[in-house]
Amino acid sequence: MTATGRNDLGFRADQGRTPPRVKPLGGFAGPLVEAGLCFGLILALDLAFGDGTRFRDLQPHPFWIPILLLAVQYGAGEALLAAFIGSVLLLAGNLPERTLAQDYYAYLLQVTLNPFLWVGAALLLGELRTRARRIQRQTEQALVAANKREQDLAEAFTQLRAVKEDLEIRVAGQMRTVLTIYRAARAVERLSFGEVLLGSADLVREVLGPKAFSLYLLNQNQVEAVINEGWREDDAWAAVFTQDSRLFQSVVGGQRFLCAARKGEDKLLEGEGVLAGPLVSADTGEVVGMLKIERMDVFGLSLTTIENFRLLCEWVGTAIAKARKFEQAEADRYHAGDGSLVSGALFEREKKMLVGLGKRLGFGVAQVTVRLNSAVPLPDDTQAELGQRLSAIINATLRGTDMAFDQRRTSDEIAVLLPGTDAAGAELVAKRLAGIVADDLAADFPGVHVSAYGEVLHAKGAA
């Protein structure tokens, strides 16, 4: 129950109760009973021990007792009622005889002195009691108001403390989120296409916090899912959208950002998710795919989330386009690193050509594979330095007719084609390369393990 008269359920405390009954005699029943008992006791004492004149000549008169009692206990109204009753009981049939020496006014004073004193005392003491009661009531009201203010302040303090704790948690979470987004953004800003895809998934996860999402890449006239996260076995979302799909036409063809909360766009989504948007390169305007959020917290969907989703699509689309462009340039480049190694993209073509030439001219072709294993991922600058060292070692070790291919972008290997070399020569070269590379890298790259093996691709004189 609160100070305003309402209980914890919000209803007034007097709801559902029967209306209070009207007190008999206007609330004077209790004082009348008390006055009657006092007056009755005094009259009984007069009958038992007095002369039957109701203590008319006794001063102070015993009737002062109930009058003062009611004045002090209840107030002026009840005291006046007691004074009236006492006057009636004293004077009714009990008037004193007038002597010859008394004039009319002296006799009148003798008869009415006690009633007048009773009335005056009832008014004076009763009003003092009424004033004291009024002050008491005001004090109680002030106390109730003070308690109410105290409760309000306590509730406000509790709410403020909860808000403060919530803000502290949010600030701490935002700091962690900012750091995580920064790390994820660094992963996106890579040149390797696979690293960009993995970094994009981390970025979506940290920025939007979805329960389930998918990343699709454009392949001719359709988009195919390359990352599905949070999908359950009972989910029936599509992994491929062709150009006949309304979702494909709206997102990829029309470059629209769809939100299930907006009118009409839920039909275009076809029940495939909450948000969908094109992955567009900010540099060229090329659409490289689609990002789709299938499931997320209902409280997480807001105008800020939609705007972050739009920026995220542009960010990821630009990163994917750059990675594709870089890998295409890598595939078209003949030499890798500082020029001592041939690009790994040309390995299969050169191997096929050299084996065919060996078959035609009758010389053998062998291959030596040097594998580098690291316990922990190496930073980009360390990998660049490692490539330069390998290029220098191989350039100083191999013959001028040997060809070394840098395949570390896909398998952490360096493949060497050895024309005019048999199995024994390939094993000798493999052992020599492994030893030289291991000795050279041991001091500066202690975590890198080197292994090598040789194999014959075409034996001399074989058909």
Torsion of Cα atoms, 332 then 222 then 238 then 305, to 10°: 80
Cβ neighbour number for residue 118 with a 10 Å cutoff:
26
287, β-bridge pairs: 280
Cβ neighbour number for residue 414 with a 10 Å cutoff:
26
Give me the pLDDT at residue 33, please.
86
Give me the pLDDT at residue 320, please.
86
Does the pTM surpass 0.75? The reply is no
Distance CA 137, CA 158 (A): 31
Same fold, 193-330 and 334-458: no
| pLDDT above 80 (res 239) | yes
**What band does 110 get if pLDDT is binned at 50, 70 and 90?**
confident
Q: What is the per-residue pLDDT across 413-433, written as a single tens digit (0 to 9) for each?
A: 788 888 888 888 888 888 888
Give me the pLDDT at residue 188, please.
58
Q: What is the per-residue pLDDT across 430-444, written as a single tens digit (0 to 9) for each?
A: 888 888 888 887 777
Tokens 């509790």 belong to residue = 158
Give me the pLDDT at residue 202, please.
82
State the Cα angle at 29 between 26 and 35, rounded to 5°.
Answer: 130
Residues of the chain with pLDDT > 70: what percent? 82
Distance CA 333, CA 322 (A): 16
**What band does 331 get if pLDDT is binned at 50, 70 and 90?**
low
Question: What distance, in Å, lies between the first and last C-alpha atoms of the chain?
Answer: 103
Residue 333 zone, left/alpha/beta (φ > 0; ψ -120 to 50; rest): beta
Give me the pLDDT at residue 183, please.
57
SS3 state at 226:
strand
Average pLDDT in the chain: 80
The helix (run of H) or strand (run of E) holding residue 169 is helix 104-188
Distance CA 126, CA 122 (A): 5
The domain ranges of the chain are 24-154, 193-330, 334-458
Give me the pLDDT at residue 392, please.
78
Distance CA 225, CA 229 (A): 11
User: How many CA atoms are closer than 13 Å to the CA of 185, on its beta-carbon side?
Assistant: 12
The widest CA-to-CA distance across the chain, in whole angstroms, is 177
Give me the pLDDT at residue 166, please.
77
More confident residue, 340 or 39: 39
Distance CA 330, CA 339 (A): 13
Q: Is 279 exposed, middle or buried (0-12, 13-18, 19+ CB in 10 A)?
A: buried
Residue 284 sits at φ, ψ, to 5 deg, of: -115, -15
Lowest-confidence pick of 10-14, 86-90, 302-306: 10-14
Distance CA 93, CA 85 (A): 14
Distance CA 128, CA 122 (A): 10
Give me the pLDDT at residue 154, please.
92
| pLDDT above 90 (res 164) | no
Q: What is the per-residue pLDDT across 370-423, written as a single tens digit (0 to 9) for each?
A: 887 776 666 766 776 777 777 777 777 777 778 887 776 555 678 888 888 888
Q: What is the per-residue pLDDT across 247-284, written as a single tens digit (0 to 9) for each?
A: 999 999 899 999 988 888 888 888 898 999 999 988 88
- Neighbour-count burial for 424-456, b at 16+ CB within 10 Å, e otherwise: ebbbebbeebbebbbebbeeebeebebebebeb
Distance CA 136, CA 129 (A): 10
Give me the pLDDT at residue 458, please.
79
For residue 347, give both structure tokens: 């390995």
For residue 238, give both structure tokens: 């599509």
Give me the pLDDT at residue 190, please.
57
Give me the pLDDT at residue 1, please.
42
Distance CA 240, CA 40 (A): 106
Give me the pLDDT at residue 347, please.
78
Q: Looking at the domain that runs over 334-458, which CATH code has it been given?
A: 3.30.70.270
For residue 10, give both structure tokens: 């919000």
The CATH fold of domain 193-330: Beta-Lactamase (3.30.450)
Give me the pLDDT at residue 215, please.
93
Give me the pLDDT at residue 447, please.
76
DSSP 358-382: HHHHT--EEEEEEEEEESSPPPHHH
**What band does 222 get if pLDDT is binned at 50, 70 and 90?**
very high
365-374: strand order across its sheet: 335-336, 341-343, 403-406, 413-419, 365-374, 448-458
| pLDDT above 60 (res 3) | no
**What band does 140 get if pLDDT is binned at 50, 70 and 90?**
very high
